[in-house]
Amino acid sequence: MKKIGFIGLGVMGGSIVKHFLKHGYEVFVYNRTQAKAAPYLAIGAKGCATPTEVANASEIIFTMVGFPQDVEEVYFGSHGIFQGDVAGKYLVDLTTSTPSLAQKIFVKGVERFAHVLDAPVSGGDLGAQKGTLTIMVGGIEEDYAALQKEFAVFGKTINYQGVAGSGQHTKMANQIMIAGTMTGMTELLVYANAAGLDVEKVLATVGGGSAANWSLSNYAPRILQGDYTPGFFVKHFVKDLKIALEEAKKLGLDLPATAQAEALYEKLENEGYGNDGTQSLIKLYWPEGIAPVSKK
């Protein structure tokens, strides 16, 4: 059984670590806020003081942190992964980051005789908890094939997308789609409530037709329950949409719907909801987070 290193114990990373432990892997963990590692140490994970220490102890190192600058620090910092022994090891970044940074990590990894994959995921907190995440992989195809067993521990749909950076490009396409479903789901709720309809009945109806989508079935019920805990943070979605728009610009593309979604989420973040779940977009319309009584 291979030794797993895991850096980043957030909403999704922590659940992935639990899956590896349940499957009998020896798991070495690091988190910038060390107190967050305590629950995982209590169930068998081994704590490390730095990413370098994780790299030295592990055969496969997964990283899942917040922002591209965090990825940069974890890999290239003074106590980063590349300060350790990575020859012959697999380095897999699950963070949603930039394609250019994925390529930079790949080039450095090749210089150090490591196998590098960018493998951002989709499925939110529920997908991580259930072990059913979608994993989008870029890098060398043989390296992707070598980690099928490990990817299957926490993923259900696992596909190779192409050379280094391709996983991140695929995740951008994913986030562009989600931007549309989240804004559509939000405006559906606002409209149905203002029209005096039974919103739960509307959801049951449209969710059984061509309007059905993941956001509608997973986030609309949370909104109606007043649950804004993060399956995915607003601040991270703003980051993702900014990356998507920057990459689109490099490709000579204009994505007005995505740009509008990014503006709405950035407004939401500026109003203090950056640490809420993405379903809190409804608060731009329902400031109390609950549906106002319809005046119709």
Q: Which are the catalytic amino acids?
A: 171
Taking the C-alpha atoms of residue 296 and residue 196, their distance in angstroms, rounded to an integer, is 6
| Residue owning tokens 């209590």 | 42
The separation between CA 233 and the C-alpha centre of its own chain, rounded to angstroms, equals 9
**Which amino acid does the sequence have at 62?**
F
Taking the C-alpha atoms of residue 230 and residue 280, their distance in angstroms, rounded to an integer, is 9
Sign of CA dihedral 202, 206, 208, 214: negative
1 closest CA partner among 19, 17, 25: 25
| Residue owning tokens 């999704």 | 12
Taking the C-alpha atoms of residue 63 and residue 151, their distance in angstroms, rounded to an integer, is 13
Are the C-beta atoms of 255 and 153 separated by less than 8 Å? no
The separation between CA 186 and the C-alpha centre of its own chain, rounded to angstroms, equals 21
Q: Beta 115-118 vs 90-93: how paired, if at all?
A: parallel
Are the C-beta atoms of 136 and 211 separated by less than 8 Å? no
The separation between CA 68 and the C-alpha centre of its own chain, rounded to angstroms, equals 12
> CB 137: neighbour CB atoms within 10 A?
25
The separation between CA 46 and the C-alpha centre of its own chain, rounded to angstroms, equals 24
> CB 38: neighbour CB atoms within 10 A?
12
Phi, psi at residue 162, to the nearest 5°?
Answer: 145, -160
Report the length, in residues, of the chain: 296
**Which amino acid does the sequence have at 245?**
L
